Chain A
């Protein structure tokens, strides 16, 4: 299927103060792929994600989602296709209850009430948060907030999920649950993250950004084990692939 393709062609972007954040980024992501976007702070990850949902528009170059080129006119269609999960759930959960928040998108899509209810129920069930439906979002735990934020996006049944740092601020168990959840999805997934272990587990493919350019694009297992790729970009091997200092010490003693 061609309509879930995400394609960036020579995308450039400079902020109003003149700082250039993207210097010619090109890639093509096909249907059902899970792609990690990694890079040091300031490499341009968040700027790139901003382009994928159209809250930033490129100074030059194009973004294409399926057969549609992203412009001011196509924004509404694009935003139905691409669901974005923000880094900070508090920015995303602005309605007074979890239920209303998850319903916000479907209601705006003009769906009848019974369908809205059905979508909210199924989205909350997918992330396992049905029991929180009538709670105010502020008092949820970090992991719960993240799960609900994902549900708000799922309720719009997008084809493509874009996530900014989904594992930041989560405790180990909540992170583990999140990874399992994301594994179970069949959407095209684009995940910007510093959590290279998450990238390794979740995404067969990785795009490494450095100074607003694609420094490497290829299989995650290969790129994230290659010091020649990682070091110039200010990255390190995933912790799970680094030697365990404790085990190594015990090994030497015996």
Chain B
């Protein structure tokens, strides 16, 4: 499931970008150290394969619906973690640029959710131990299903956490999770089945392909980039949040209000203390989201708030003016765009 730009805050997006960039750098270093240049075209073509494979659907027995390959675990099995991570990141980049699946800022989130977990968590910690050195069909099936399910659950957890941290959705954390996890359990089961059957086919038809995987040594230290990625994400989020909070309290107001139930912030007396407090509130956000609805700000509180905030939430009295102004500025924006239009406007009109 792709995280969308519209659901994340710049803080979360930026932190995840930083984390994804770190893991990508780690992976490219790893790859440059190994001399196997055959992997350069292999990765590109396998990335394209994942796209092509998603064209082919199969019928899920007993349901009448159809499923297809996601590809993260399969790529890791074929390429090893660092190369697979880069391939997945490039797939997600193409999807973000061409299909608007996700978005530019959400790309970091998506790379972490769909790349980091299968490559550096699931594969070294679950798939390899479960499949063993000489996997039989049954063990491989078990390893692939467990791996795919856990990988997708982690990805879904990532999506929910990022959305919650960003505060765009009103869904409480637990409910959002309850909504996402069963869907991803089903997707994970399908993904595991498909991955196992494709790997099983390869093992039957061309076993040497599976023996060439240059991942044995790399897989063992797989947890390291995860720790690095998570640390970077945490540090960057904390740093940005505290900076943002100390310089620009208004922007976070609604998020904090939702997480704590208090609308008005105490005036920032000591910026360091204030920053630390925000970090603390951020880290404590998750349990707070389980609180029932009565903790939400009331209408009067919101009114107070907008009265204080010149361009924040429109108060009831000025909302019509606000919307009219919005419409007028949209018209203005179109006018500006019209002014910028190229000279050969007749050509474009005829297209």
Contact = CB atoms under 8 A, between A and B. Distances in A.
Interface of A: 16, 94
Contacts of A16: 208
The 3 tightest CB contacts between A and B, nearest first, are A94-B41, A16-B208, A94-B44
3 contacts: A16-B208, A94-B41, A94-B44
The A interface, classified by DSSP as helix, strand, loop or mixed, is: loop
Q: DSSP class of B's interface residues: helix, strand, loop or mixed?
A: helix
Contacts of B41: 94
Interface residues of B, number: 3
Nearest to A16: B208
Contacts of A94: 41, 44
Nearest to B45: A94
Contacts of B44: 94
A19 to B, nearest CB: 14
A104 to B, nearest CB: 12
B164 to A, nearest CB: 39
A73 to B, nearest CB: 16
A71 B208 CA distance: 24
A16 B208 CA distance: 10
B332 to A, nearest CB: 37
A138 to B, nearest CB: 11
Interface string B18-51: 0000000000000000000000010010000000
B2 to A, nearest CB: 25
A16 B44 CA distance: 26
Contacts of B208: 16
B210 to A, nearest CB: 15
A94 B43 CA distance: 13
Interface string B205-224: 00010000000000000000
B189 to A, nearest CB: 36
B39 to A, nearest CB: 14
A94 B208 CA distance: 26
A243 to B, nearest CB: 46
Nearest to B208: A16
A86 to B, nearest CB: 13
A5 to B, nearest CB: 30
A152 to B, nearest CB: 15
A115 B219 CA distance: 44
A253 B9 CA distance: 86
A16 B209 CA distance: 13
